[in-house]
Structure 1
């Protein structure tokens, strides 16, 4: 969203938008030399004519470092969304394709063209909200390049303008706070030691349930960030929604759980709402059971208070 963009960066994007022709997001990419842009409207990087790489730069993630230089941190984690939660198969492939093109420019010591983009919803919901749409997309006439590529840290740094400058450690720490690098919980280790927090147990339960449904060929979309009364929306290969599931987990040290007011309200108004409880979440003996709204009181660990 525009309010998440640095004011100086937003001003430059607005100036580019006003002085350029009125084109759709796909038309902008097509005019930059991507002939199959209309077949790849949801991609985040493209190979254009002349082997030029074009990549989306989300304005919400752009930071301004020393000397006014723009940069952003690129996550090398293809499995997790920046807003948290696992990516689905399409999202994983899209992330892999983008990183492959960026790595190609890094290995060749070349720059890449960028389209600067802002979004109509919070950037953390970019991959989890079905209503996510482009707010503004403009062609950046300044070249970008991959300044650093650090697989061990699962991040790269993308910089706008000439080579030879990299952000300071303080710049990087401030940039990470913008949310471009997913904070991936490692709940299993904490659960195994018996020192897991309720949040870690919940994360372990979500991971378990997601793998369970996807293992049977279903899509399990994580919608926790939307705070709409359930955690996962489960659908079949045809896109038909089958269940809207609240996931709860129990484990040593976290023997009980509660439903939020929104979850309780949703259990009444939503016919597909179900409670799924994972016992021993995060362990090798985790098990689960699904409960209808009328069966909530019989779920192990349920605390009605």
Structure 2
């Protein structure tokens, strides 16, 4: 709600709203280059034309440092809502998709575009109140970037404006009090990651499918066909690019092995690749791809006797 927004941030949002054309929340995102914005009105981040990432920045969680710089604390815990409580599967997937896009900009050293948003209900109720609606959404012409990404602390810091500045510990402590990230004493309440082989593999498959589709490729799950790989990746014209075996690892299941069919396919199929998803099912999941000659280098790989 507006009363939860820092006055200087709210004044800037109001100025942007009054100076621009009157557009709906979906139209704003569409005009920023998201062609399927109408099909994804409730997403929290989007991949736009030119490989640009757009992310929602909730005004209620924007903090202003002593020097006037804006920053925003991003929780890396996709399973828990900022206001407390466990997310539904759909909410958690939406959060994971957002984190994946933000991590992509961080890894590439790129910025992202932001839409600033305030809401008609208390921000803590945003994901739990079915009556929650956007109050104001505006395009921010200033570039944002991910200044730090700390999986151990389950926290990323997003900063508005030029690089080279980060909030102090005092700034971050004050920002945590505003909400948006789980309190430290809530950490033990967060659900554990997947602990069975099937659950880890399912999480890894979902991650990989989303990864390739996020780049605009066609990805087809062919696991049931027992071809010696799990996913066929092709371009928009239908040309086959990769035949990928997917393996996931997690703290409870740190190792994996190839099946006999997968090992044979690696020898005969030029497009065969191994893609390993580390920390599958968590907000910090990350992947690396290996050629057949590099499989032994994959962390966690165990060759069967």
- Contact 2:56 2:114 survives alignment (8 Å): yes
Q: Give the Cα–Cα distance (whole angstroms) in 2 for the partners of residues 20 and 116 of structure 1.
A: 13
Q: Cα–Cα, structure 1 residues 174 and 186, in superposed 2: closer, same or farther, change >3 Å?
A: closer
Where does residue 129 of structure 2 map in the other structure?
Answer: 129
Output one character per residue of 1:139-198: Cα deviation in whole Å (capped at 9) or x when no partner. 0000000000000000000000000000000000000001110237669x8xxxxxxxxx
Q: TM-score, normalised by structure 1?
A: 0.61
- Contact 2:6 2:63 survives alignment (8 Å): yes
After TM superposition, give the deviation of residue 91 of structure 1 in Å: 0.3
Gaps of 5+ in 1: 190-202, 208-305
CA RMSD of aligned residues (A): 1.7
The answer to whether the aligner puts 1:35 opposite 2:35 as a matched pair is yes
Query: What's the secondary structure of 1:35's corresponding residue?
Result: coil
Q: Give the Cα–Cα distance (whole angstroms) in 2 for the partners of residues 8 and 174 of structure 1.
A: 16
Structure 1 outlier segments of 4+, above 6 Å: none
Where does residue 162 of structure 1 map in the other structure?
Answer: 162
Q: TM-score, normalised by structure 2?
A: 0.61
After TM superposition, give the deviation of residue 118 of structure 1 in Å: 0.2
Output one character per residue of 1:239-296: Cα deviation in whole Å (capped at 9) or x when no partner. xxxxxxxxxxxxxxxxxxxxxxxxxxxxxxxxxxxxxxxxxxxxxxxxxxxxxxxxxx
- Contact 1:17 1:138 survives alignment (8 Å): yes
- Contact 2:176 2:183 survives alignment (8 Å): no
Aligned length: 191
Query: What's the secondary structure of 1:117's corresponding residue?
Result: strand
The answer to whether the aligner puts 1:183 opposite 2:183 as a matched pair is yes
The answer to whether the aligner puts 1:10 opposite 2:10 as a matched pair is yes
Q: Give the Cα–Cα distance (whole angstroms) in 2 for the partners of residues 185 and 176 of structure 1.
A: 13
Gaps of 5+ in 2: 192-305
